[in-house]
């Protein structure tokens, strides 16, 4: 990489970006790196060998461009933390028992980063780290540079969880399925303790959560993958509540306007080539296909897969459905059932099942796609918004139930499938969490409804899509905020140079 040998000698601020090693956190941070570099910054992007290999074509594309981004591959401390070799990403953990060592590996990665500072990595002018890297702030403080936190989820989620914490709302709730009203919101929205907190169910996660809050309090600012026009009052209230500089700089996915970068985003080889999917979609009517995908972590057991499949058949919908390799392992009952389902769907020309990684942005932005059944991961929601596609919401865990509320109750661009019980990635066998085929059918029919209600949802989704694009364009709110981040760091750098 050119021009990175000594940043103190260049006028361009040098950012180190440290993502959490999980697809939903790394993908937007790669986009952020591109946007910062396009805005004149120099970026060192921290990754690990396995994670870098997964996005090799994307890295090559960036390296062939003029963007000043260096991908720094640090060894992931799997062995020290007790992780199987190669488990360098949350979606590669074979079992939930590895969550603890994975979380414990994160600060060890910090030790490696420190060893490389001034060697493989020039001393930076700012560190932007995923909120889960609570250790990163102390490195920034030693270097006397700003530390900015990157939050992946919606601002609605950030504001709500902070308010719940400050009002100690959950302390008084015994029954985790008793509904409570979210505090500090202009509209009445109910949640259950299970929906907002079930994932923080072990001392490991609790400790990490507390460390993250402390790191956030000490940080200089916060960048969020959202845009002001989508959730304006949340952004304002969150600014007030944290007392920090809060820069909404998204939707970051809009950096990828070209089909080539959309097709190779996130994973080296999509399970089905983008062109093949394009061709299949080209033959369908506008807005006639439902896309079904549950992100990179949520895994459905056989009992749930069959309910989804039967629900889709009953709704008579055309579809593209993404299932994970781990859900239909070879030789299992799930694989056998899926083969039969795929044969029927192909014969009736109803739909395609993608096994493995799908080029999600390519699918969502095709005009034939008229609805998205999603697990409510924030990236997926933003990608649907950018494409102007309404959603059938099916949250599983973490921020997803709150994201669902934002989409359905606040923005009016989604219909709820009706999931009530949270289900974690490796919690597949929770029988009570299985959502029945009737609910799937009803949600799909309602999502694709051509009546007044469906049309209004589509209109609103298109409107937010336009606002999202405007926010990222020159002069738009997110574009200005991104410039604000670069300016803030440049000003701090110049001040230090003057002293």
Residues that bind ligand UDP (CB under 6 A): 23-24, 27, 265-266, 293, 295-297, 322, 357-358, 360-361, 377-380, 383
> In the bound complex, what is the minimum distance in angstroms from residue 431's beta carbon to ligand UDP?
22
Whether the CB-CB separation of 242 and 219 falls below 8 Å is answered with no
What is Dmax (Cα atoms) for the chain? Answer: 73
Whether the CB-CB separation of 295 and 21 falls below 8 Å is answered with no
> In the bound complex, what is the minimum distance in angstroms from residue 293's beta carbon to ligand UDP?
6
What's the distance, CA 441 to chain centroid? 26
Using alpha carbons, list the distances in angstroms from residue 5 to 37, 52, 336. Answer: 16, 22, 55
Return the number of the residue (258 or 452) whose C-beta is nearest ligand UDP.
Answer: 258
The count of C-alpha atoms lying within 13 angstroms of the C-alpha of 454, restricted to the half-sphere facing its C-beta, is: 14
> In the bound complex, what is the minimum distance in angstroms from residue 13's beta carbon to ligand UDP?
27
The C-alpha angle with vertex 8 and arms to 10 and 17, in degrees rounded to 5, equals: 90
Strands 351-355 and 318-323, by their bridges, are parallel
Return the number of the residue (101 or 295) whose C-beta is nearest ligand UDP.
Answer: 295
> In the bound complex, what is the minimum distance in angstroms from residue 499's beta carbon to ligand UDP?
41
Return the number of the residue (309 or 395) whose C-beta is nearest ligand UDP.
Answer: 395
SS (H, E, C) 187-213: CCCEEEHHHHHCCCCCHHHHHHHHHHH
Return the number of the residue (44 or 267) whose C-beta is nearest ligand UDP.
Answer: 267
> In the bound complex, what is the minimum distance in angstroms from residue 147's beta carbon to ligand UDP?
23
Q: Report the sign of the C-alpha dihedral through residues 30, 32, 36, 41, in that order.
A: negative
Return the number of the residue (124 or 266) whose C-beta is nearest ligand UDP.
Answer: 266
> In the bound complex, what is the minimum distance in angstroms from residue 59's beta carbon to ligand UDP?
16
Identify the three-state secondary structure at position 316.
coil
- Counting every residue written for the chain, the total comes to 499
> In the bound complex, what is the minimum distance in angstroms from residue 23's beta carbon to ligand UDP?
5
Burial 418-428 (b: 16+ CB within 10 A, else e): ebebbbbbbbb
Return the number of the residue (417 or 489) whose C-beta is nearest ligand UDP.
Answer: 417
Q: Which of 378, 387, 368, 367 is nearest to 463 (CA)?
A: 387
Which helix (H) or strand (E) segment holds residue 318: the answer is strand 318-323
Return the number of the residue (27 or 352) whose C-beta is nearest ligand UDP.
Answer: 27
Return the number of the residue (222 or 358) whose C-beta is nearest ligand UDP.
Answer: 358
> In the bound complex, what is the minimum distance in angstroms from residue 69's beta carbon to ligand UDP?
19
């Amino acid at each position: 990489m050119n021009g990175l040998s000594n940043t103190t000698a260049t006028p361009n601020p040098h950012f180190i970006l440290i993502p959490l090693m999980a697809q939903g956190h790394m993908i937007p941070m790669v986009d952020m790196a591109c946007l910062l570099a396009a805005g004149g910054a120099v970026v060192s992007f921290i990754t690990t060998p396995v994670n870098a290999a997964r996005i090799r074509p994307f890295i090559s594309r960036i390296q062939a461009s003029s963007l000043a981004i260096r991908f720094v591959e640090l060894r992931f401390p799997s062995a020290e933390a007790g992780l199987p070799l190669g488990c360098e990403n949350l979606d590669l953990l074979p079992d939930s028992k590895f969550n603890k060592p994975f979380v414990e590996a994160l600060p060890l990665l910090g030790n490696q980063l420190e060893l490389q500072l001034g060697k493989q990595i020039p001393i930076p002018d700012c560190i932007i780290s995923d909120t889960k890297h609570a250790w990163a702030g102390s490195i920034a403080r030693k270097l006397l540079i700003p530390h900015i936190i990157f939050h992946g989820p919606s601002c609605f989620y950030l504001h709500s969880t902070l308010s719940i914490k400050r009002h100690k709302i959950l302390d008084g709730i015994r029954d985790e399925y008793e509904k409570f009203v979210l505090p500090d919101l202009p509209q009445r929205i109910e949640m259950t303790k299970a929906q907002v907190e079930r994932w923080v169910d072990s001392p490991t996660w609790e400790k990490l959560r507390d460390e993250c809050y402390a790191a956030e309090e000490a940080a200089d600012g916060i960048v969020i993958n959202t845009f002001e026009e989508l959730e304006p009052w949340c952004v304002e209230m969150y600014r007030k509540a944290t007392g920090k500089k809060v820069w909404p700089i998204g939707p970051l996915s809009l950096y990828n306007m070209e089909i080539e970068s959309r097709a190779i985003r996130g994973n080296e080889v999509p399970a089905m080539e983008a062109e093949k999917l394009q061709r299949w979609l080209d033959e369908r009517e506008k807005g006639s296909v439902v896309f079904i995908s549950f992100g990179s972590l949520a895994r459905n057991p056989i009992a749930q897969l069959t309910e989804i499949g039967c629900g889709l058949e009953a709704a008579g919908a055309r579809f593209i459905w993404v299932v994970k390799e781990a859900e239909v392992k070879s030789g299992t009952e799930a694989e056998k059932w899926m083969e039969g389902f795929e044969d029927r769907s192909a014969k009736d020309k109803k739909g395609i099942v993608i096994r493995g990684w799908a080029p999600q942005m390519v699918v969502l932005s095709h005009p034939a796609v008229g609805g998205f059944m999603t697990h409510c991961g924030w990236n997926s929601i933003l990608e649907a918004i950018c494409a102007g596609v309404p959603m059938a919401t099916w949250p599983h865990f973490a921020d997803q139930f709150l994201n669902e509320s934002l989409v359905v109750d606040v923005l009016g661009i989604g219909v709820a499938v009706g999931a009530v019980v949270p289900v974690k990635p490796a919690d597949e066998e929770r029988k009570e969490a299985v959502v029945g085929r009737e609910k799937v059918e009803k949600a799909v029919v309602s999502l694709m409804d051509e009546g007044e209600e469906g049309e209004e949802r589509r209109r609103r989704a298109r409107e937010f899509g336009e606002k999202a694009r405007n926010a990222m364009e020159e002069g738009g709110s997110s574009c200005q905020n991104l410039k604000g981040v670069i300016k803030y760091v440049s000003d701090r750098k110049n001040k230090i140079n003057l002293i």
